[in-house]
Structure 1
């Protein structure tokens, strides 16, 4: 296995290379116009095919591929998996240009699911080569840019199970992981179907749309916010859950406005807020989880969190979106997503208030005991 880098090793070069790769891998200028492209004369697909038969394939393939990918990441380490991601991006791009028909575009979504499944290697690689005190800083850098010994598949599984139990025995890490899983599920759903919502509010065949500009602005502002996270000094152990609750409520409000106010500019503005807040929180969650890990199992934990998110998303897609389920219209879907984030906010608000009160009582105990002893 790859050994952890020596403590004195310079972290600037690997961080810069990862940021550079992340920037170019995330540079997809055609993505904001994907729905318009698939519905247009080039692919000539129907709305039902795109929203209910093609887009759900990404969710299902991401879920199916994630588990073997993070096992491969744990066994092969990070570089081969990052290379696989780059090759999958190339295949996705060529299929987007030349593939025709429903089945071919569904295969395209499968390869894009492989792209997103292998992102675990990118986000966990940096923690294997830098010191613990740099986690917050390098996490913000890598997130802002996007915006060997042989052992026997039974021994690996036993080690993973042991590490799983050890990792999730920490309450702070469990808390951040739960938020990661549930919020990422909702984030993926909103991102996947936002273009469909915009299409209903302002049809691209009849009006000029600014999807690309909105994506660029949200990514740029999100990158700035994420970069700034590296320099924020907050006692996340005390106030983390309350912060998650309040910001999750802001996300819920943004999704609600996108759904109910049928004005494209308010939809765009709410989407920008939605992405900035999520990127900010997921960055904080990432370095908080990494900080609480006492072993090099970053890919394992990140993979499990994302796997749970995808399992929830798959269930949500099957029930709400898929034509074999309820097949709800896009506006009803977004009302459900807004309610989903509101429920997350409520849960973390109750838990956060309890944690703050508990910490306050524990901090006041020595004072009480000291006063009693003096008397």
Structure 2
């Protein structure tokens, strides 16, 4: 029986061999004399999004942001930065994350990516020209919008390329952002240490970089359909267009009722998908680590500069950028290595998370207790490398059990939970006036936080390993119940 494409193929069209390059290009017909290379469809979308990711992450001022705010440029105190400025982006990200998550798919990603670029530019313009606590707070408020819009960046590529290219394109996109962050941090270090460039110039370089990313975002192809709704909206609009042609014009009230029904169906489907995605206990625990790990990572990465300024108040240009950049490259290499590890993750994955999270807790504890800046640098290097490795484990364990249109839902919700936890931790540790904890006391709490997460996953990992070490038949049954296939989720 011929496929619809075969029926529509005109005389003279070249029949493509099964399994060839052409078979990966979807169902587009190939005409004699007008052949379009297969990779053109995904390369044209991947190249600009990778360029955008590289320049949006190449921000050489970030490893030295605390010194920029507390130095002669802004004259803020470390207390103001710690308790009044940095918490703004945590709380604001929590406020913006859900609205952005809901409208991103409806707007088809590109407008939200452009908004992210505009927010980056606004943030660094305010840092350059503003003064005082209020200006710094507005800058981090704008920065939080860009943070919340990350969901559009990571989901965009899946809506414009064929599923057969997802793995390759994902690796390119992640490599671009990690390379951009590393280049930015190392560039800032080199300009400060060897070029004698001021922090103000680093902020200007950062502004130029994010401006290039905004210009690049304007050339991104606009997705034809949303990823989650998968064409249901376009189909509804098509039927509405036919009705309009028949009846002339549709009443505004009828249109609003139709739109309300569509939104209702969307939220109903969202609720059903949410229940299905989190019905697996095994996947639920990987999601728990993804959320709790994100909370702890951003808390440490956001305040580690304050600890280093406390340890070495007169030596801010030491090697902040080098440590940040090299640890990012090390984490990326560790993430790649995880993809080549041969391990039965359904049995040992949670135990691996628990054991390596304990190493993170130990690194943070030593980072907090030492007076040597080099030991603190080494601990941060270990912390960031291990976190990126464990985060990769959680990502592919979650992704392999999901259908692709549910990626944005699950990863977006995990990010939202992590931001809630981070906001609670910030409110308790930093903004509780009765506590007034020092920066060293704060890092002791962060180390204890990861120790508690490690204990939870170690206990759960031991239970899972013992419970699944059964004869083949019962193990297979248990594995099927704990780790559903993608078709089931």
TM-score by shorter chain over 0.5: yes
Kindly indicate whether residue 285 of structure 2 is the aligned counterpart of residue 253 of structure 1.
Answer: no
CA contact (8 A) 2:468 2:475 kept: no
Change (3 A) 1:18 1:287: farther
What RMSD in Å do the two structures reach over aligned CA positions? 2.4
For 1:344, what is the secondary structure of its paired residue?
helix
Deviation at residue 300 of structure 1 after TM alignment: 1.5
What CA distance in whole angstroms lies between the structure 2 residues aligned with 1:235 and 1:18?
A: 34
Change (3 A) 1:321 1:303: same
Question: Which moves more between the two structures, 120-129 or 194-203?
Answer: 120-129
What CA distance in whole angstroms lies between the structure 1 residues aligned with 2:434 and 2:471?
A: 49
Instruction: Give 1:131's match in structure 2, choosing from 163, 182, 187.
Output: 163
CA contact (8 A) 2:429 2:442 kept: yes
Change (3 A) 1:109 1:166: same
Kindly indicate whether residue 390 of structure 2 is the aligned counterpart of residue 281 of structure 1.
Answer: yes
CA contact (8 A) 1:222 1:279 kept: yes
Correspondence list, 1:168-179, <5 A: 168-179=278-289
Identify the residue that residue 56 of structure 1 maps to in structure 2.
87
Identify the residue that residue 291 of structure 2 maps to in structure 1.
181
Identify the residue that residue 82 of structure 1 maps to in structure 2.
113
Question: Which moves more between the two structures, 230-239 or 248-257?
Answer: 230-239
Deviation at residue 162 of structure 1 after TM alignment: 1.5
State the structure with bigger RCO (CA 8 A, min sep 6), 1 or 2. Answer: 1
Change (3 A) 1:17 1:287: farther
Identify the residue that residue 102 of structure 1 maps to in structure 2.
133
What CA distance in whole angstroms lies between the structure 1 residues aligned with 2:434 and 2:170?
A: 38
Question: Which moves more between the two structures, 124-133 or 32-41?
Answer: 124-133
What CA distance in whole angstroms lies between the structure 2 residues aligned with 1:113 and 1:88?
A: 8
What CA distance in whole angstroms lies between the structure 1 residues aligned with 2:366 and 2:85?
A: 26
CA contact (8 A) 2:334 2:385 kept: yes
For 1:326, what is the secondary structure of its paired residue?
coil
CA contact (8 A) 2:127 2:135 kept: no
Identify the residue that residue 329 of structure 1 maps to in structure 2.
438
For 2:355, what is the secondary structure of its paired residue?
helix
Identify the residue that residue 324 of structure 2 maps to in structure 1.
215
For 2:376, what is the secondary structure of its paired residue?
helix
Question: Which moves more between the two structures, 353-362 or 148-157?
Answer: 148-157
Identify the residue that residue 23 of structure 1 maps to in structure 2.
54
Superimposed CA distance per residue, residues 293-312 of structure 1 (whole angstroms, 9 cap, x where no aligned partner): 12502222111111111111
Correspondence list, 1:165-314, <5 A: 165-203=275-313, 205=314, 208-314=317-423
Question: Which moves more between the two structures, 180-189 or 141-150?
Answer: 141-150
Instruction: Give 1:72's match in structure 2, choosing from 87, 100, 103.
Output: 103
Deviation at residue 74 of structure 1 after TM alignment: 2.8
Deviation at residue 44 of structure 1 after TM alignment: 0.9
Structure 2: any 5+ residue segments left out of the alignment? 1-22, 27-38, 179-224, 226-232, 238-258, 477-489
CA contact (8 A) 2:88 2:141 kept: yes
Correspondence list, 1:136-147, <5 A: 138-147=169-178
Superimposed CA distance per residue, residues 314-373 of structure 1 (whole angstroms, 9 cap, x where no aligned partner): 111111111546231111110111111111111111111211222211526599xxxxxx
What TM-score, normalized by structure 2, do the two folds share?
0.69
Instruction: Give 1:156's match in structure 2, choosing from 248, 266, 286.
Output: 266
The total of aligned residue pairs comes to 360
Kindly indicate whether residue 228 of structure 2 is the aligned counterpart of residue 119 of structure 1.
Answer: no
Deviation at residue 239 of structure 1 after TM alignment: 1.9
Change (3 A) 1:323 1:98: farther
Change (3 A) 1:225 1:188: same
Identify the residue that residue 34 of structure 2 maps to in structure 1.
none
Larger Rg: 2
What CA distance in whole angstroms lies between the structure 1 residues aligned with 2:301 and 2:49?
A: 24
For 2:343, what is the secondary structure of its paired residue?
coil
Question: Which moves more between the two structures, 210-219 or 307-316?
Answer: 210-219
Question: Which moves more between the two structures, 7-16 or 193-202?
Answer: 7-16
What CA distance in whole angstroms lies between the structure 2 residues aligned with 1:206 and 1:197?
A: 12
For 2:470, what is the secondary structure of its paired residue?
helix
Superimposed CA distance per residue, residues 52-106 of structure 1 (whole angstroms, 9 cap, x where no aligned partner): 0100001000111100111112322322222221221111121121111111110
What CA distance in whole angstroms lies between the structure 2 residues aligned with 1:19 and 1:250?
A: 33
For 1:262, what is the secondary structure of its paired residue?
coil
